[in-house]
Amino acid sequence: MKRFVSILVSLGILALLYRRIDLAGLLQVFQTCDRTWMAISLAMVIPITGVTAWRLQQLMPPKAALGVGEANRLILAASTLNMVLPSKMGDIIKAYFMRDRGHLSGSLSLSIVVFEKTCDMLSLLLWCAFGLLLYPYKDAWFVLMTAGIIGGLALGLLLLGSKGFAKLFFGTARRLAPGKVAEKVHRLQASWGEMHDYIWCDRTQLLRVSFTSVFIWFLHLLQIWFFILALKAWTPFLTNLALSPLAILAGLLPLTFAGVGTRDAALVFLYSSYFDEATGAALGLLCTSRYFLPAIGGLPFLSQYMTAVNAFRKGPPRLNLGQRR
């Protein structure tokens, strides 16, 4: 039901957005695009997926055997599930995939996935903060956004770096949250604690994964800039580092299907000083392809992981804090 409502919300936002846009102009944008840059920008999905899979391999304990092929299949299958499950739960199901393949315990696999997604969010916030600090046109709205992004980045780093602060944060959240939400916070707190123990026992691995995450998100934002070049438009690259993460964050709001609608509207609004609404809408469609192409690529591998999907429906993985590297 929630997925159906999110699709309706996405369609509603798109309907409102496209009432303002000349559809003939949108078609013209694609007809006159630079096909070389279009091919390059769409093909960026391949190295992004490959580097993300390599990061997953680096996160695994030394004795856990996760090959290159299986790591890529896991990433692609999770992308497919993210399109049909709410709140990026396809990434959480990766924990079941790794557990069922015999790599590690369910609780530790969940902790690894939590750290993986934490690195993604912090890397996105880092690039956004960097771009916003260098953004030349700072009105009150952008100053407020910059403060919010830097504050979110600082909070995330504190949660990742201080186990005491994380305990205080999650404890406060549990006391303030209603019943079902408090239970979810409790499970996240348990996974977060094990994740913290796991990642800080090998600081070389922590630095390697952190820098890899920052590089992965550089590739994501570079791909969006390539999309702009493919549409024969222009935005300074440093400006793109500020604006495109804001649009991605808008797409993460739990309102729409895969961010469709909110992300498109944010792109049209944020880039309005650099190109027209038709080009902004075309950029929104291309940004949506960043999620659909890996999802399509994961379809051939999905059947072999359906037992993990069925296990996920029965409940969260049990915590077993005894397993370490």
Domain extent listing, the chain? 41-314
Cα angle value 167/170/174 (rounded, 5°): 130
**Containing H/E element for 273?**
none
294/165 Cα distance (integer angstroms): 36
Report, in angstroms and rounded to the nearest whole number, the Rg of the chain calculated over CA atoms.
Answer: 20
Measured distance CA(232)–CA(169) in Å, rounded: 46
Burial of residue 180 (number of CB atoms within 10 Å: 0-12, 13-18, 19+): exposed
pTM equals 0.90
In 3D space, the residue among 188, 232, 209 whose CA is nearest the CA of residue 30 turns out to be: 232
Tens digit of pLDDT per residue, the chain (325 long)? 666 788 888 889 989 898 888 889 999 999 999 999 999 999 999 999 999 999 999 988 877 767 888 889 889 988 888 887 665 666 777 777 777 665 566 677 888 888 999 999 999 999 999 999 999 888 899 999 999 999 999 999 999 999 999 999 999 999 988 888 888 888 888 888 888 888 898 899 999 999 999 999 999 999 999 999 999 999 999 999 999 999 999 998 877 887 889 999 999 999 999 999 999 999 999 999 999 999 999 988 877 766 656 655 555 554 443 333 3
Over the stretch 63-120, which tens digit does the pLDDT of each residue have? 776 788 888 988 998 888 888 766 566 677 777 777 766 556 667 788 888 899 999 9
Burial of 73 (0-12, 13-18, 19+ CB in 10 A): buried
The confidence score (pLDDT) of residue 294 equals 93
Question: Burial code of 34-57, b = ≥16 C-beta within 10 A, e = fewer?
Answer: eeebbeebbebbeebbeebbbbbb
